[in-house]
Amino acid sequence: MTYNQRLSANADGGNIRTWKHGEFPMPDWVPQYMAGGIEANGTFALETEFGRARVHLGNIVIESSGRVWARAVEEAVDFIEKLKMRAEPTITNIGPGKGRQFGASKGTKSKARKNHSKAIDRRPRYAPPVGSQPSIEWIRLNRLSVDSAYQRSTDNEASRRLIASIAAKFDWRLCAPLVVSRRADDTLTIIDGQHRWMAACRRDDIPQLPCCVFRYENREEEARMFILANRARKPMNRLDDYFAALAAADEDALEMQQLVTDAGLSVARNTSSTAWRPGEVAFTSSIAHAIRRFGPAITSAVLTNMAVAFPGQKMTHGGAIFGGLVRIMTRRILISILIAF
């Protein structure tokens, strides 16, 4: 049995209809759920109970009881099975022999199962989500814009460098969907991601970008979302940056790890000094600076001296001590060189 035959068989026996986009002609029941026409890339949007969903070539459109969904091929069969299970009537009169097949009725639930249900009901209660679910869409660059009333200016050296850097080394693996507002006049305004958009506009091989499209009441709400999105970001601290670089086999991070380990020390995982353990160092930025400016030999000597001077002790002020020892050691080397000449 082919995959399509399997899908069709699973949809039979219930009020469920399916269609695979791109493989078969569009049936007459699909257009009533569409939000607009088919885009140049072959995709189109569906109005679902959870908001707009983008249908790509090869996706399965599923319809049942006036509701519609879009699923990837590998998800469609399981999803249809769940729809069929929900549609089956609940069996309440359990006769001889049916308990084994269908399970016990509600009145014969074990005490343990009741206690398990009570435990599940103790989950935290949350307020309903604010706003409506977005649609995930691929949008052509020329349809996007920014509102200078609240967006950050890119007319500065830092932004120009960032845009040029993204454009020069564009990596789809780092391109998260842009946050976009679909206004009443159907214009698409970027809330978050203008640097990625401007970088893509510089290239000729990126016609569209993935976007998370929301509907806001007005410009004021867009501006509030812009502020919240930027304030909610947690910047990477120096230790997070170091361990991420280490996991990525960055040469500088690997060299730093080798020097610290050879000295009998280790890099702390937490920026809070109360969580540090004896022999841990957290001043990775100072170590990196010393390696770049004075080389690994001096850096290694300073770290080794610190390990010998503070055995079994927490180096709460390790950064200041390290900086002072580097200055002392480099000054002595400079004086020795001057005397030699």
Q: 175: domain CATH number?
A: 3.90.1530.10
pLDDT tens for each residue of 212-237: 999 988 888 888 888 887 776 666 68
Based on the domain organization, do 198 and 265 belong to the same domain? no
CA–CA dist 77, 4 (Å, integer): 10
Which secondary structure element, helix H or strand E, spans residue 20, and what is its range? strand 16-20
Structure tokens at 14: 């219930």
Q: Is the per-residue pLDDT at 321 higher than 50?
A: yes
The reply to whether 118 falls in a domain is: no
Nearby residues of 242 by Cβ (< 8 Å), 6 or more positions away: 253, 256, 267, 284
What does the pLDDT read at residue 233?
66
CA angle centred on 170, ends 204 and 56, rounded to 5°: 70
The reply to whether 186 falls in a domain is: yes
pLDDT tens for each residue of 36-56: 888 888 889 989 877 788 898
DSSP category for residue 232: S
Question: Coil, strand or helix: which one is 26?
Answer: coil
CA nearest to 61, candidates 17, 25, 23: 17
The reply to whether 82 falls in a domain is: yes
CA–CA dist 173, 80 (Å, integer): 32
Structure tokens at 294: 């004075």
pLDDT tens for each residue of 184-193: 899 999 999 9
Q: Which residue matches tokens 């842009």?
A: 178
pLDDT tens for each residue of 107-123: 544 555 555 555 556 77
Based on the domain organization, do 292 and 254 belong to the same domain? yes
Domain count, the chain: 3
What residue type is assigned to position 165 of the chain?
Answer: S
What backbone phi and psi angles, to 5 degrees, belong to 160? -60, -40
DSSP-assigned beta bridge partners for residue 68? 63
Based on the domain organization, do 17 and 66 belong to the same domain? yes
Average pLDDT, the chain: 83
What mean pLDDT comes out for the span 268-292?
91
Question: Coil, strand or helix: which one is 212?
Answer: strand
Least confident of 24-33, 41-50, 186-195, 307-316: 41-50
Based on the domain organization, do 246 and 221 belong to the same domain? no
CA angle centred on 181, ends 62 and 137, rounded to 5°: 35
What does the pLDDT read at residue 333?
64
Based on the domain organization, do 274 and 185 belong to the same domain? no
What does the pLDDT read at residue 92?
45
Within 10 Å of residue 172's Cβ, how many Cβ atoms?
Answer: 8
What mean pLDDT comes out for the span 16-21?
91
What does the pLDDT read at residue 336?
59
The reply to whether 103 falls in a domain is: no
Domain that holds residue 184: 135-231
Domain boundary, last residue among 64, 87, 110: 87
What does the pLDDT read at residue 14?
55
Based on the domain organization, do 249 and 269 belong to the same domain? yes
CA–CA dist 105, 261 (Å, integer): 64
DSSP-assigned beta bridge partners for residue 208? 140
Q: Is 318 exposed, middle or buried (0-12, 13-18, 19+ CB in 10 A)?
A: buried
Based on the domain organization, do 227 and 242 belong to the same domain? no
